[in-house]
Amino acid sequence: MKKLILLSYALLISTISFAQQGNNFKSRTKTQMNNSPGGFTFKTISNNRSLKSGVLNSNYNFPVSTTLQVPKISNHDSVQNLISDNGSPIFFERASSKLKSTKAETTAEHFYSFFESTKATTQLFQPKDELVITRTLTDNLGITHVKAQQYYKGVKVYGAELYLHMGADRDLFTGRIESLDPAIESSPGIDKLTAINIVSDDLKERTILKNLSAKEKELLKYDRPESELVIYDGKLAYEISYRPNMIEEWKYFVDANSKEIIQFYNNTNSDGPTIANAYDLNGILRSINTYLEAGTYYLYNISEAMFNSTKSEGIIMTLDANNTSTTNLNYSFITSTNNTWTNRASVSAHYNAKQAYTYFKNTFNRNSINDQGGDILSLVNVAEEDGASMENAYWNGRAVFYGNGGTYFKPLAGALDVTAHELGHGIVSNTANLEYYEQPGAINETYADIFGSMVDRDDWLIGEDIVKTAYY
């Protein structure tokens, strides 16, 4: 599953009194690109000196020809071992011009001199205008590797990158140079905003489109859709990177004159759900569900039956309130670079939330707290309004908030029955919705206590794992 489960709940948990909100996003069935690997057929090449052309057969829709010319000797430009693809070189080598009697030249001078002397092969007639050096590296063998990008009339040619490997006596070219029609238009007929709107309209039919909050944008280092003019498949196009939501990134190529969508694909790279072992507040080693995305682990559990990958809902998520109160909440995602977790309050809250979910699922076949596959949110390290440690835990209609205790209590996330009690309030509010005062309020608390005892079955006590015995 190619989804990053990083959802923001800034609007959901930023105050003490949340209203239950529905999902305003339209559910669409996503169609995946054909990512099946190409099928290949092979020919046996004899040791005849006259090598023939080989053909690479693939069922993948490459934007370039798959006819491959295998090595041959070229008399042009003193080039040897030329391999071409659709008339464009992808490999060749040439004796180096760096002789002892030759005037010393810089790496860049040698690079452009090479392409000046191989114009017949590369069809690059203005190398200094058509190639831009992007990286230079010299390895421990003394070979200098220069990476460059091809441009056409100042516009980047998508996928046309190359290396020149400069050895002591030979220079070796690898990469791709596109042979372009000189009649290609280099000025767009539409502006980038028009192209972005075309992408936005198309994405509405493929996935969930939402406005990202400031905190989500900060996390993703993303402010708005990014666009760049490129030459793509022989056409002037806008290359657009678009994040329709916190999970996905899509790539589009829109013809800058006809407005046609030339190509698009879901560029979301995710590694998926994982499992970690970590100690909770009671010193017990727990197995918890986490999520790996691009080298970073998050306290997200998307492994339960309630998870809906289309809507990105049904997540058991644990966040850090960073010792702020719910009236001035400044939460953050809890992350790890190696799937080890030292924040024991978060481990307890995350583990206990799953236990409570499992009880309600197995006992009542309940699809999350709201019975509609909603997320289960927990926030640890919640403080009082004055910044003091909070000796309480509560359900506010959307999430469970855990204080770190104080004089009378240890951190409240350490008690399974406290978690079940608070989530039990969520069950009541999504069913009978008892008013929280007088007799209905007492019944509300009673049901929450019963749920707490049913999930934490060691005894009939409530909160025994977090009270300080000196006071109880």
- Helices marked H in 390-437 — which ranges? 416-429
SS3 221: coil
CATH 3.10.450 at 65-175, yes or no: yes
Burial class (CB in 10 A: 0-12, 13-18, 19+), 298: buried
Segment (H or E) for 287: strand 285-293
Contact status, residue 111 vs residue 133, Cβ threshold 8 Å: yes
Between CA 217 and CA 223 the distance in angstroms is 6
Closest listed residue to residue 288, CA positions, set 301, 297, 269: 301
- Residue by residue, pLDDT tens for the chain (472 residues) are 434 444 444 434 443 333 333 344 344 444 444 443 343 333 443 444 333 333 333 333 333 333 333 334 344 568 888 988 778 888 999 998 654 445 678 999 999 999 999 999 999 999 999 999 999 999 988 999 999 999 999 999 998 999 999 998 999 999 999 988 888 988 999 999 999 999 999 999 988 888 888 888 887 889 999 999 999 999 999 999 999 987 788 999 999 999 999 999 887 755 678 899 999 999 999 999 999 987 889 999 999 999 998 888 999 999 999 999 988 899 999 999 989 999 999 999 999 999 999 999 999 999 999 999 999 999 999 999 999 999 999 999 899 999 999 999 999 999 999 999 999 999 999 998 887 778 988 999 999 999 999 999 999 999 999 999 876 6
Q: What pLDDT does 102 receive? A: 53
Could you tell me which residues come within 8 angstroms of residue 457 by beta carbon, excluding any fewer than 6 positions away? none
SS3 262: strand
Fold equal for 192-266 and 271-455: no
Q: What pLDDT does 103 receive? A: 61
Closest listed residue to residue 332, CA positions, set 322, 346, 324, 343: 322
- Options 3.40.50.720, 3.10.170.10, 3.20.20.210, 3.40.50.300; CATH of 271-455: 3.10.170.10
SS3 451: helix
For 333, the token pair is 């995602």
Contact status, residue 262 vs residue 254, Cβ threshold 8 Å: yes
Segments making up each domain of the chain, as ranges: 65-175, 192-266, 271-455
CATH 1.20.120 at 192-266, yes or no: no
- Tokens 């698009």 correspond to 264
Quote the longest CA-to-CA distance of the chain.
101
For the entire predicted model, the pTM comes to 0.51
Q: Are strands 226-232 and 155-166 parallel, antiparallel or unpaired?
A: parallel
Q: What pLDDT does 216 receive? A: 82
Q: Collect contacts of 397-400 with beta carbons under 8 A, ≥24 apart.
A: 397/17, 397/18, 397/19, 397/20, 397/426, 397/429, 398/9, 398/12, 398/13, 398/18, 398/20, 399/9, 399/12, 399/13, 399/18, 400/349, 400/353
